[in-house]
Amino acid sequence: MTSFLNSSIGKKFLMSLSGLFLISFLLVHLIVNSMILFDPTGVLFNNAAHFMGTNPIIRIVEPVLAIGFILHIFYAGLLTLQNQWARPVGYAKQNSANSSKWASRNMFVLGSLVFIFLVIHISNFFWKIKFTGSELLEQGSVDGVENAFLLVTTFFINWWWIVIVYVVGAVVLGIHLTHAFWAAFQTLGLSDSRWRKRLEIVGWVYTIIVAGGFALIPLWVKISSLIN
Ligand code: HEM
């Protein structure tokens, strides 16, 4: 088992498994966040965020999520370094252009940009909700349900640059996902030449929904504040 996990395929296996877990998380996260679009009073989003923050099952999943992120990032770095050492010169230009798309050749750079976005994002909301608190969370809080809606929307309404960071973050995440989705199934042995095309299509649909949804929320909040 240890020798499998130390092999290149073992590392790719763990990356794909943790990647699929993160892919599922993103969909759930988007569903909760989309309540911001459907209910401008914020009650729906606040209750959903509170449920996610206090539900015992979700509380068990949270550290698993953190471990998933760490594993994914750690193995991505390790595999990229191993590939560099094994092939310091790189393939001829015409080979790499034919054999793989731009996203697949830049997964480490794309992943690193998503990581930078994630650090900004966690410090914006998660850190305040879980650890430091904020006056905004207290305002209009009902029955111990913190006003996460006010915190999130105040960020987007007050700072254009935050809106831009979130839209760019969603686009970069989307490009990362176009390759990640089918590649994860392929590495886990769950795809063949027939399924590859189908998975690529499902991957594109998933990516458009997830990246489009995450980009739409800050834009929607900012633009509606300018109209109203
Ligand atoms: C419109 C965009 C987004 C909004 C409004 C949003 C909102 C939030 C909020 C309010 C929290 C804190 C939840 C709590 O602790 O109760 C959170 C946590 C988190 N977000 Fe986001 N998020 C967005 C996009 C993203 C994206 C694109 C990613 C991944 C690349 C992401 C990953 C995470 C993670 C890992 C956590 C910590 C785990 C958790 O609390 O569930 N978020 N987000």
Helix, strand counts (H, E) of the chain: 13, 0
Report d(CA 210, CA 33) in Å as an integer: 11
Topology annotation, domain 2-87+101-227: 3 helical TM bundles of succinate and fumarate reductases (1.20.1300)
- Nearest atom, ligand 1, residue 169 CA: 27
Per-residue model confidence as pLDDT tens digits over 155-169:
999 999 999 999 999
Could you tell me the distance, in angstroms and rounded to a whole number, from the CA of residue 39 to the centre of ligand 1? 18
Report d(CA 188, CA 13) in Å as an integer: 6
Domain ranges of the chain: 2-87+101-227
Report d(CA 46, CA 48) in Å as an integer: 6
Q: Is the CB of 33 under 6 A from ligand 1?
A: yes
Task: Answer whether 148's CB lies under 8 Å from 49's CB.
Answer: yes
Instruction: Please tell me the predicted confidence (pLDDT) of residue 8.
Output: 78
Give me the residue label for tokens 């309404």.
Answer: 157
Per-residue model confidence as pLDDT tens digits over 101-125:
788 888 899 999 999 999 999 999 9
| The model's pTM | 0.90
pLDDT above 70 covers a percentage of the chain that reads: 93
Q: Is the CB of 173 under 6 A from ligand 1?
A: yes
